[in-house]
Amino acid sequence: MSERKLAFIYSPEIEGLSYPIDCPFKTQRAGLTRQRLLSFGLLGGEGRVEVPARKASLAELEEFHTARYLEELQRAAGGDLTVDGLHMGLGGPDTPMFKDVFEYSALACGAALTAADLVLAGKADIAFNLLGGFHHAMAEKAAGFCYLNDVVLACMRLAAAGKRVACVDVDAHHGDGTQAAFYNRNDVLTISLHESGKTLFPWGGFENEIGEGQGLGCNVNVPLPAGTYDEAFLMAFDRIAAPVLEAFDLDVIVLELGMDTLAGDPLTHLRMTNNAHVEVVKRLLDFNRPILIAGGGGYHVENTVRGWALAWRTCCGEDEEHDASLGMGGVMLASSEWAGGLRDRALAVTTEQRQVVEPELRATIDRVRNNVFRHQGLAPQAAAGCGSACGG
């Protein structure tokens, strides 16, 4: 595993671009993660390269977005927000207009395409684009701090090269823009595990949204109850995502690794720790296929940075002992909040929490398996390596 070639896509240019100061979306997270990796000695050196990001061209953006939307977005960035722009979602509370909006979004998309190209050229096995993860952006609509959908563009580029793409989205929010882009396609599998639309934006992503036409069964949603904790999340992942991915015969994985699932995130209601993300990354690494990792949400900046750095370290194949020795070496100076390495402490789960989360989640898992599995040639009732071991 440690022989994998890792690429960290980054551009110092990003440091001059920012969302409005009062917006919870912080563009600084990618740079802070980079600094954390450098302080741990995890960036640079053999097999761990940094690759500069570039802006996506208009022609590249038009692979998914409409020309008139791109025009309105550029116009609005320049201060001219029209009625058409408003109808496209621009300038709302979660889609503020600011002068860097087009520049930043196009850079995030260019970074995603760079990552996809590196993977296609065999120059990277794992490519991180923490500038991106804008999974809510639609072809002609902005939403939820997302204007241009880098995740979709990367998947499209990989699929255009003939690859079977599995897009796994573990952000706390449903990946609705990504779902919409591939709803009728069977060459891009989309799996989103997210806090239920009953309690969180974008208020959709339910079990019965399973794709249409050729894409029937190739869109999988797992809505998680508020309060979902690591063990429950991993049960859902292992009972649904793992077997579906296995059946899909994938060539490449695109992972939207939002960190807003972590307990303490100010915008969501899940109770996870980054230990769950390690398990997800490990399970995906086991497929032995290239992985493109996109950033996404995460509104507690320090927790997000630590989670992403930990995911990178997991991809490096570095073990825990190594981390502990680094921690004792005093390299955590950047953090005033936590001095124990990258991993979160395990969170205790109360009986009450289990009683709230488990019955609902088990019922959801059964529904998803019933809806989706037969389209993937799987038996809905199959134990999938879990079964009664998960009982009680």
Residues within the interface to Zn ion (CB under 5 A): 171-173, 258, 260, 297
String of DSSP letters for 19-36: --TTSS--THHHHHHHHH
Residues 235 and 390 sit within 8 Å (Cβ to Cβ): yes
How many angstroms separate the CA atoms of 263 and 269, rounded? 7
Q: Among residues 60 and 171, whose Cβ is nearest to Zn ion?
A: 171
Q: Which residue is nearest to Zn ion (CB)?
A: 297
Q: Which of 136, 173, 277, 375 is flagged as catalytic?
A: 136
How many angstroms separate the CA atoms of 355 and 361, rounded? 10
Residue entry with tokens 């955590």: 332
Min separation Cβ 285 and Zn ion, Å? 23
Q: Among residues 43 and 172, whose Cβ is nearest to Zn ion?
A: 172
Min separation Cβ 205 and Zn ion, Å? 11
Q: Among residues 85 and 298, whose Cβ is nearest to Zn ion?
A: 298
Q: Among residues 203 and 385, whose Cβ is nearest to Zn ion?
A: 203
Q: Among residues 200 and 316, whose Cβ is nearest to Zn ion?
A: 200
Min separation Cβ 297 and Zn ion, Å? 3
Structure tokens at 371: 């809806």
Residue entry with tokens 């609902």: 360
φ, ψ for residue 350, nearest 5 deg: -80, 160
Angle, helices 150-160 vs 101-120, to 10°: value is 30
Q: SS3 for 265? A: coil
Q: How far is CA 31 from the centre of its chain?
A: 17
Min separation Cβ 215 and Zn ion, Å? 23
How many angstroms separate the CA atoms of 224 and 269, rounded? 10
Min separation Cβ 43 and Zn ion, Å? 25
The β-bridge partners of 143 are: 146
Is 136 catalytic? The answer is yes
How many angstroms separate the CA atoms of 224 and 182, rounded? 22
The β-bridge partners of 191 are: 168, 220
Q: SS3 for 107? A: helix
Min separation Cβ 155 and Zn ion, Å? 18
24: Cβ–Cβ under 8 A, 6 or more apart, which residues?
A: 145, 266, 267, 299
How many angstroms separate the CA atoms of 65 and 376, rounded? 30
Q: Among residues 270 and 384, whose Cβ is nearest to Zn ion?
A: 270
Min separation Cβ 263 and Zn ion, Å? 15
Sign of CA dihedral 151, 153, 159, 163: negative
Q: Among residues 34 and 173, whose Cβ is nearest to Zn ion?
A: 173
Distances (CA, A) of 298 to 39, 303, 310: 21, 8, 14
Q: Look at residues 227, 254, 232 and name the one whose alpha carbon lies nearest to residue 154.
A: 254
Q: Which residues are catalytic?
A: 136
